[in-house]
Amino acid sequence: MNADVHTRISSPARYCRARTGLRPALLACLLACVAISYADWNFDLIIRNAEKRYGNIGSAKARIEEWDRLINSSLNVEENEKLKVVNRFFNRQLRFVDDSQNWRQNDYWATPIEALVKGAGDCEDYAIGKYFTLRRLGVPSEKLRITYVKALTYNQAHMVLTYYSNPSAIPLVLDNLVGEIRPASQRKDLLPVYAFNAEGLYLPGAAGGKRASDSKKLSRWQDLLKKMREEGFAIGEG
C-alpha cells in the first residue's frame, strides 16, 4: 500500500440553504441532501453492469444479492448494530488476498463490487466496502474515516475503518485482522498515520485529529468514486 500522502485527498463540502431561524427546515434540507446523494441502489442494474464487465459472475452474484439483503434489513436498526452487521459481512465474505496477487498491481483500491466479484480483497477493500455500506445505511460521513495505520505486529501498512460517535470520541475500529469492534484505545497494535472521508484528510491528534487537506486531492479516492458511479451507485461525493 502506497503511503505517499502528497497525491491525495479531499472532498467537497456539502451544504443546504434554509430560511433563517427555521431549524426544522434546515434539518429537513440536510436529510434530503443525504437521501439524494445515497438514493436507493438498484442492485438489478448493478448486477447487470457487473455481468457486462465480467461475464458470468457465478457465485459472486449470490454475494452481491446478500449485500443487498443486508442493506435492506439493516436500514432501521441502531447505529451500533449497523457497525456490527456490516463489519461481520465483509470480514466473512472476503478472503484476504494481496493486491499484487489479486490485481497484479502494488496498490489497487477495489470497489465493493470488484471485491465481491473476486470474493477477496486487500485491507483497504474491507474498509472501503464497510464505509460505503454504512453510508448507504445513513451513517454520516463525518462519523466515518478510512484510516491508514501501521500494523505494528506485522510491521506493515494497513487500513481500517474508524467510527466516531461524536467528534471528540475515541473511535471504534472496524478491522479485518481483528473481527471484534474495539475502541482505538484498545488497539495498541495500530499506529495511525492519516485518515480520510468525504470531508477531507486528517492527521492524527486529539479530538479526532486535524483536518489537513481536501479529499479531492486523493487521486485513488477520486478514481474509486468514479468507478462506483460507473457501476451504477448513487454515492454523491462519498
Q: pLDDT tens-digit profile of 164-199?
A: 999 889 999 999 999 999 999 999 999 999 999 998
Per-residue model confidence (pLDDT) at position 130: 98
Give residue 209's pLDDT: 72
Does 149 fall in a domain?
A: yes
Query: What is the sign, positive or negative, of the torsion defined by CA atoms of 10, 4, 224, 144?
Result: negative
DSSP alpha helices (H): ranges in the chain?
23-37, 43-54, 60-74, 79-93, 99-102, 112-118, 123-136, 219-231
Cα–Cα distance, 230 to 63 (Å, whole number)? 20
229 within 8 A of 235, measured Cβ to Cβ:
yes
pLDDT at 23: 53
Chain center to CA of 180: 18
CB under 8 Å to 118, separation ≥6 — which residues?
60, 97, 102, 110
In a domain, 50, yes or no: yes
Cα–Cα distance measured from residue 7 to residue 178, given in angstroms and rounded to the nearest whole number: 29
Task: Give the domain range for residue 99.
Answer: 39-231
Record the pTM. Answer: 0.83
Q: Which residue has the cell 460517535?
A: 165
Residue 34, domain member (yes or no): no
Strands 120-121 and 95-96 come out as parallel
Stretches in the chain below the pLDDT threshold 50: 1-22, 24-36
Does residue 32 fall inside a structural domain?
Answer: no
Q: Is residue 8 part of a domain?
A: no
Q: Are 203 and 213 in contact (CB under 8 A)?
A: no
Q: Give residue 237's pLDDT.
A: 86
| CATH code for the domain of 195 | 3.10.620.30
Residue 214: the pLDDT is 79
Our count of domains for the chain comes to 1
